[in-house]
Each structure stands twice: as C-alpha cells, then as structure tokens.
Amino acid sequence: MKPLLVPLQDTAQISGPLASALDAEMADIDLRRFPDGETYLRFDTLPEGRDVILLAGLCHPDAKLPTLVFAAQTARALGAASVGLVAPYLPYMRQDRVFRPGEAVTSVQFAKLVSSCVDWLVTIDPHLHRWHALSDIYDIPARAAHAAPAMAAWISREVDHPLLIGPDAESEQWVSEIASLAGAEHIVLTKTRHGDRDVDISPPDLGKWRHHTPVIVDDTISTASTMMAVTRQLAEQGLRPPTCCAAHGVFADGAFEALLQAGAARIVTSNTISHPSNGIDVSGILASAANGLIEEIRPSSR
Ligand code: R5P
C-alpha cells in the first residue's frame, strides 16, 4: 500500500510535489481551531496499517507543535504501521548550549519531544553548528538531506558566469559543495555578528571577480543582515548586484524588502518555507531521504 502523506500547517507549497515524489496518497484531514483556539483534528483518510508521513511546516513552531503531537498520537491510535516526520525546515537548532546560567537548551528538549512522537525524521540542511549531527540530540533515525544539488542546478540554469560567495566559515560546507556541483568558483568571507541585526563582513580584495555574477549562498536568510552586509561590501568594491540564494527563507519582518533595497538583484529560496522567493524545489531530495528511512525502520515497525 502507498504511504500516506499527512499535510499539516504551512505546507501547501510543497505537499503536492512531495506526494508525487514519494508516490504517496495525500491524506484528507480536518484540521481547524475551536473558537477558544484549541486544535480540532480528524483523519478522514484512515491510517490503519499504513506508513504515515507527517509533513509539518515548522517555521514559527510554537503555535504548531501541539498539532504535530496530536497528529502523531492519533495516527498511532488509529493503527498506523509507522509514523515519520518530514519537517523541511527544522526549528530549535540554535540554542545548542547554555550561554547564560539557567537557560533551557531548547535544541535538546525539542529533539526529545519530537523523538517521543515519531519513528523517524527527515529535514533539509538543519543548523548544525555545535551539534555535528542530528543523532547528537535525536533518539530516532534522523536524516539531514542537503538542498545543495537543487541549489546548484538552479544556479547553473539561471546565473551566467557565477561566483559563489559564502558569508562566513560556517557556510563553507554548503558553498563548496554547491560550487563543485555547479562547476563554479567560490570564495568564503569572514563574518562577525555583534547582535541579531548587527553583522560585519570582512571581504578580501574582490577586484578580480568584477566580471562574474556574485551569488551569495547561505543556509538561512532570517533578518537578512548577513546577506545585506555582503551585498554592501560587493557594491563598495564595484561588483555586480548579487543573487541571494538560501535553502530556508525565514524572512523576519521586512527582511525580504530590506534585502532588495540593499541592492540584491534576485533572491531565491527553496520551498522548505512558503515564500514568494521559492524557486528551488527540494521535494525530490526529501522524498528519497524519507523513502530510505521508511525502508530502514521497516523490520522493527512491523
Ligand atoms: C548563521 O549561522 C547562518 O548560517 C546564517 O548566516 C544566518 O542564520 C543568517 O541570519 P540573518 O539573515 O539574520 O543574518
């Protein structure tokens, strides 16, 4: 029987392509709020005996977490053979240690909660910094798939003579892989973050790249402070207005408009988070990771 894909909140931009890529049946569910704000959830397509794949858009997660927990518990109660989670964007990865005494290490706590609800997890390019792998904090099989092949294909198709630019040392991992897949050159800059919206970029002499099209590549655009700081430095050195390319377009209030205002020629993101800038489809990448995990857990889930 085909797996059953259950689309939860904020997934309309990717649920159709993902269902096709998975060759899954899209579940009909009734998901709404009672007048007091509590969640009502009903599976119109019954999951008994099926491999259930919950698809959750978890950017701004706090309002959505109960729905995910209720959906997982209900699928199990209705006899699902397995319950997995595709979270194209995985939240709560940044608070990865105690920075000040008394703080909650929410990356660990969120991971424990999700691990208690579902059998496996697939996501795209989570923010792995002090945690090196999802298995450091998730107790279930968890796979971090990479948007790099889809981003490289987009850049090869859309950008003439690209120079890929990583804004900071952390971005080296993405930008070098994408550059190699796209057959493009790349450089990595140095970033100092003084606050959420206060970022300094120290570029080397970029004069030799004036005839290239700069493509700034990062995992996430949040406040866009990083992309804006790079964009300004490129302009100061006489480079062309850049294309800004990220796996996840979080775009905190006004960030998209501010980045255009700062001089970005184009902004493109993948469809992990719904946004008008979505131009890169990662559903195939998510589907192959999810299919791999369903196979991996099959003997223990039956
Ligand atoms: C940083 O560690 C990440 O890779 C991104 O550079 C960062 O999340 C971008 O954030 P913002 O858009 O707020 O500068």
Which has the minimum average pLDDT: 51-55, 81-85, 198-202, 254-258?
198-202
Instruction: Answer whether 186's CB lies under 8 Å from 212's CB.
Output: no
Length of the chain: 302
Is the pLDDT confidence value at 300 over 60?
no
DSSP secondary structure letter of residue 30 = E
CA of 168 to the centre of ligand 1 (A): 9
Q: What pLDDT shows up at residue 129?
A: 84
With bands split at pLDDT 50, 70 and 90, how would you rate the model's confidence at 52? very high
Residue 161: count of CB within 10 angstroms of its CB: 11
The CB of 223 under 6 Å from ligand 1? The reply is yes
With bands split at pLDDT 50, 70 and 90, how would you rate the model's confidence at 302? very low
The CB of 222 under 6 Å from ligand 1? The reply is yes
Is the pLDDT confidence value at 301 over 50?
no
| Mean pLDDT of the region 220-227 | 96
DSSP secondary structure letter of residue 8 = -
From atom 2 of ligand 1, which residue's Cα is the shortest distance away?
A: 170
- Helix count (H) and strand count (E) of the chain? 8, 16
Is the pLDDT confidence value at 169 over 60?
yes
Cα 262 to Cα 270: distance, rounded to the nearest angstrom: 21
| Mean pLDDT of the region 182-198 | 94
Share of the chain above pLDDT 70, in %: 99
The full DSSP string for 74-137 is HHHHTT-SEEEEEESS--S-S--S-SSTT---HHHHHHHHHHHH-SEEEEES---SSS-SGGGT
CA of 106 to the centre of ligand 1 (A): 18
Scan for tokens 């109960």, then name that residue: 66
Which CATH class, in words, describes the domain spanning 4-146+282-301?
A: alpha beta
Q: What pLDDT shows up at residue 106?
A: 98
From atom 10 of ligand 1, which residue's Cα is the shortest distance away?
A: 222
Is the pLDDT confidence value at 27 over 60?
yes
Cα dist. 103→62, 115, 126, 127, 167 in Å? 18, 22, 22, 19, 29
Pick the CATH number of 148-280 from 3.40.50.10190, 3.40.50.2000, 3.30.420.40, 3.40.50.2020: 3.40.50.2020
Tell me what the pLDDT averaged over the chain comes to: 96
Beta-bridge partner residues of 193: 199
Cα 292 to Cα 290: distance, rounded to the nearest angstrom: 5
Q: Do the two domains 4-146+282-301 and 148-280 of this chain adopt the same fold?
A: yes
From atom 8 of ligand 1, which residue's Cα is the shortest distance away?
A: 220
Q: What pLDDT shows up at residue 298?
A: 77
| Mean pLDDT of the region 156-166 | 98
The full DSSP string for 135-152 is GGT-SS-EEEE-SHHHHH
- Mutate which of 93, 174, 221 for ligand 1? The one with the most ligand atoms within 8 Å of its CB, which is 221
Atom of ligand 1 nearest to the CA of 226: 14
CA of 221 to the centre of ligand 1 (A): 6
Is the pLDDT confidence value at 137 over 70?
yes
Show the tokens assigned to 219. Answer: 């995992």
- Mutate which of 96, 226, 233, 269 for ligand 1? The one with the most ligand atoms within 8 Å of its CB, which is 226
Q: What pLDDT shows up at residue 218?
A: 96
The CB of 158 under 6 Å from ligand 1? The reply is no
Q: Hey, where are the domains in the chain?
A: 4-146+282-301, 148-280
Residues 73-104: tens digit of each pLDDT:
999 999 999 999 999 999 999 999 999 999 99
The CB of 170 under 6 Å from ligand 1? The reply is yes
3-state class (DSSP) for residue 273: coil
Cα 227 to Cα 19: distance, rounded to the nearest angstrom: 33
CA of 279 to the centre of ligand 1 (A): 20
Residue 233: count of CB within 10 angstroms of its CB: 18
